[in-house]
Amino acid sequence: MYPGLVATAVKSSGTHERILRTTLDLIGREGIGAVTNRRVASAAGISLGSLTYHFGSQNELLRESLLLLIGEEIARLEGLRGDLRSRRPDLVAVANEIERFFEHSDDRVRRLAELELHLHAARDPELREASARVFEAYEAVAITGLEMLGVDEAPARARALVAVMHGIALRRFGTGAADARGMAEALLTIVGDRRPRSR
């Protein structure tokens, strides 16, 4: 369903993958400014020449790092979608499950790396296509989930859902909150179901 993203996640191996994961770790811990060829090579335990052999430019390195991260995230979301489909829960149960899913996504470094890369894309046109593909992939998963639940206007609501999820993630990191409280309620509001929920 997302060939570019999945291919990036699958093809990365050995040194190439180690460079990408080291880059994501640096971004998540210290920000985009920490990504220099020398820092990445040192942290990955490789020579500078090996880094430049695998990646011709810093933009290429950042773009592939983002696509690897999101390819794996989409696979994770697909797993959640498959699980929900097999159980056929109602809308409230789905919203609660999604909230728990994000609350227990404890890899803070990876989440921060994704947000950093999207922000960097706002200043760097060469990364914007990758950023756009990421949001499209999230929205595709959301559309499928909403259609499965029989929600009207799934594409429009999916875009709002993805925006809310990213907004709540940003709020969590900015405020230091440990949970995803409020996400289920926000999701139900967007799809037009305001019934009381239980966790």
3-state secondary structure string, the chain?
CCHHHHHHHHHCCHHHHHHHHHHHHHHHHHCHHHCCHHHHHHHHCCCHHHHHHHCCCHHHHHHHHHHHHHHHHHHHHHHHHHHHHHHCCCHHHHHHHHHHHHHCCCCHHHHHHHHHHHHHHHHCHHHHHHHHHHHHHHHHHHHHHHHHCCCCCHHHHHHHHHHHHHHHHHHHHHHCCCCCCCHHHHHHHHHCCCCCCCC
Which residue type, as a one-letter code, is found at position 151? V
Task: Give me the mean pLDDT over the 23-48 stretch.
Answer: 93
CB neighbours (10 Å) of residue 112? 18
> How confident is the model at residue 140, as a pLDDT?
83
Q: Is residue 17 part of a domain?
A: yes
In a domain, 26, yes or no: yes
pLDDT of the residue at 13:
58
Contact between 122 and 115 under an 8 Å Cβ cutoff? The reply is no
Domain range for 71 is: 3-191
Does pLDDT of 41 surpass 90?
Answer: yes
User: Using a CB cutoff of 8 Å and minimum separation of 24, what contacts does 122-129 make?
Assistant: 124/59, 124/62, 126/59, 126/63, 127/59, 127/62, 127/63, 127/66
Tell me the mean pLDDT in the region 50-56: 93
Is 197 part of any domain? Answer: no
The encoded tokens of residue 108 equal 């803070």
Q: Of 7-16, 25-34, 87-96, give the range with the top mean pLDDT.
A: 25-34
CA 36 – CA 43 distance, rounded (Å): 11
Phi, psi dihedrals of residue 46, rounded to the nearest 5°? -130, 170
The total number of structural domains that make up the chain: 1
Tell me the pLDDT tens digit for each residue of 104-119: 665 778 888 888 888 8
As a residue count, the chain comes to 199
Kindly tell me if the per-residue pLDDT of 33 is higher than 70. yes
User: Do the domain assignments include residue 196?
Assistant: no
pLDDT for position 104 = 63
Please report, for the domain that includes residue 68, its CATH number: 1.10.357.10
Per residue in 176-195, pLDDT (tens digit) is 876 677 778 888 888 875 44
Task: Tell whether 198 is covered by a domain.
Answer: no
